A and B are shown apart, each in its own frame.
Chain A
């Protein structure tokens, strides 16, 4: 049956469209201020492309990766406040393994004390286990996710500092540098890692039935359980994935600065991740989720930061300005506003009818 009516009001309703419109607007304003905003040039020295757009995607890598996991947690109807702390933990462990014994090697050099595989694997495993701990509290303990993850949020940074005795290690180990600053196919490595992660999570949730299970547990946990879904395992797996992804983000973050700044590593990452997911259109009460929407949400947040930087606002106020624009986007997506637009669209169409 050809000619399915083009459903303008349906499109207006969906939050993702608003996110895309917001992103386009901000980019436009950036373009007006700095015409060379969209220029992309190839920099032979680093063998990478260079330009504000690339910078946005590169800088947003950590948040995008974390928010992939966060999307699933929110789809379950919960939130994960511990991601920021896990980023710090991952960085701390990695640096610990790189410079196990500070005494013998005082100056940072191109060396690693432990095999490189450990430097990468152990932080990821530890973060995954911490995610599992969160999942266990929620699934078996029946504790509200916001409270369960608050525990790791509070003591996660403490663990990171204990591991590094409160000191800040630096390293010069070049393979570790590749993660945050290397390049592949002339794209910065974080972008490559992000693409891999996004594709992997998308495949895992949509190709297997896991995505459907997450959505159904998110909407109605008791009905899903009674339909045979092991709701407990789904929750455990989702929190473990989020932990693992926070670990990956932690590695990228610490590799960018080649050190383990435990105090501010991952500060407020959980807030950014949650906002990215919300702007992306996933409903906070759980149920349908859209990974694509979240990616756009994360890009929006990063674009705003770049925009604020270009706009010449003093660094301290960036957080305020970011909050203001995000607030505007969220209000535009709120239900009453969308209903208002849908009604107006319907009236316009009805006008044509008579």
Chain B
């Protein structure tokens, strides 16, 4: 009776391949991880105090992830976020002594400027985003290290006073809502997805592809600048390792959230929220379970592998632009 085994086997694999399952997968993943952590830490993770601490770790990665989401939908990759956060945080801290609004704007503008550098080299010289962002990562990592060699740069007391959860939640939610609106209801979302799934065809259909790509990088930088402000409130002073490995963390979060690495039409806005939450919960859970950092990294790697294997979109295998 080989025939009907084939039948249900192929039905199962068909289901696994189908888009609906792929769409749901991240949510299932989040529930599974939450459930596992709840069980393993026998409920301690859900305690209010713990929950607030967990949430406080979500804010700035969520904002940065929103920016990177637009870049990855283009099919490109942005490795600069970590060092952008570092440099922007320095600017925010220095300006925080003058006045707070200036600090916020300064942070955003610095981030936007770095994003513009990425965008300019990627578009004008048609260099792969991968290469450009590695160079800028190094460059601004060095700049950040240079300024924080002697001592960490302190932020003004005034800015630290702002450190209240509802402010941070407010900013994050606002960013998410605005980004969702732009993505879903305006031309930007369509353009970005079009460039991701077929750049030449998009160009031939009237999409200003170069402009879209440039603005995506600038937006990612600006949002990271805003995240720097949120980070400075929480951290208070900037050391040379600020934002270290943030770019890998964001990449993993978004992929855990179900974002296909090649971008294009299959991206869902929910990838950002689910991915960042999942990463933070996983991170916190492992810390609470007492694994030292080495094993934590190991487990994160394995979890990441499982999700990647399931969500990979074989049809859209392309070189990263």
Contact = CB atoms under 8 A, between A and B. Distances in A.
Interface in B290-317: 292-302, 304-305, 308-309, 312, 314, 317
Kindly name the residue among B131, B299, B314 whose own CB sees the greatest number of chain A CB atoms within 10 A: B131
B139 interface: yes
B142 A317 contact: yes
Nearest to A154: B301
Given A166-B292, A331-B127, A154 B304 contact: yes
B145 interface: yes
Nearest to A164: B294
A324 interface: yes
B295 A162 contact: yes
A181 B81 CA distance: 38
B65 to A, nearest CB: 16
Given A318-B142, A323-B142, A331-B127, A144 B312 contact: yes
Interface residues of A, number: 50
Interface stretch (A23-31, A39-47, A278-286): A278-286
Interface in B239-273: 240, 248, 251-252, 255, 261-262
B140 A320 contact: yes
Given A142-B314, A286-B319, A150 B248 contact: yes
Given A152-B301, A158-B294, A321-B142, A336 B126 contact: yes
B15 interface: no
18 contacts: A142-B317, A144-B312, A147-B255, A147-B261, A152-B301, A154-B252, A155-B298, A155-B302, A158-B295, A275-B131, A320-B141, A320-B143, A321-B142, A323-B136, A327-B135, A330-B135, A331-B125, A336-B126
Interface in A137-183: 137, 141-144, 146-148, 150-162, 166
A77 B319 contact: yes
Contacts of A285: 128, 319
Contacts of B138: 268, 271, 319-320, 322-323, 326
A150 B317 CA distance: 17
Given A144-B261, A148-B308, A316-B149, 11 more contacts: A158-B297, A161-B293, A319-B138, A319-B142, A319-B145, A320-B140, A322-B138, A323-B138, A323-B139, A327-B135, A337-B125
B296 A158 contact: yes
A334 interface: yes
B146 interface: yes
A152 B248 CA distance: 12
Nearest to B255: A147
The 8 closest A-B pairs by CB, nearest first: A320-B142, A155-B301, A323-B138, A161-B294, A158-B297, A158-B298, A316-B145, A334-B125
Contacts of B125: 331, 334-337
Given A151-B304, A319-B142, A320-B141, A162 B248 contact: no
B135 A326 contact: yes
A314 interface: yes
Interface string A59-97: 000000000000000000101000000000000000000
A155 to B, nearest CB: 3
Contacts of B317: 142, 144
Query: For chain B, what secondary structure do more than half of its interface residues adopt (helix, strand, loop), or is it mixed?
Result: helix
B3 interface: no
Contacts of A336: 124-126
A52 to B, nearest CB: 22
B134 A157 contact: no
Contact of A141 (B128, B304, B309): B309
A57 interface: no
Given A141-B312, A275-B134, A331-B121, A153 B248 contact: yes
B320 interface: yes
A274 interface: yes
B128 A284 contact: yes
Nearest to A271: B134
A335 B121 CA distance: 12
B291 to A, nearest CB: 9
B130 interface: yes
Interface string B147-178: 00100000000000000000000000000000
Given A323-B135, A335-B126, A316 B312 contact: no
A324 B301 contact: no
Contacts of B319: 77, 284-286
Contacts of A151: 301-302, 304-305, 308
Interface in A255-288: 268, 271, 274-275, 278, 284-286
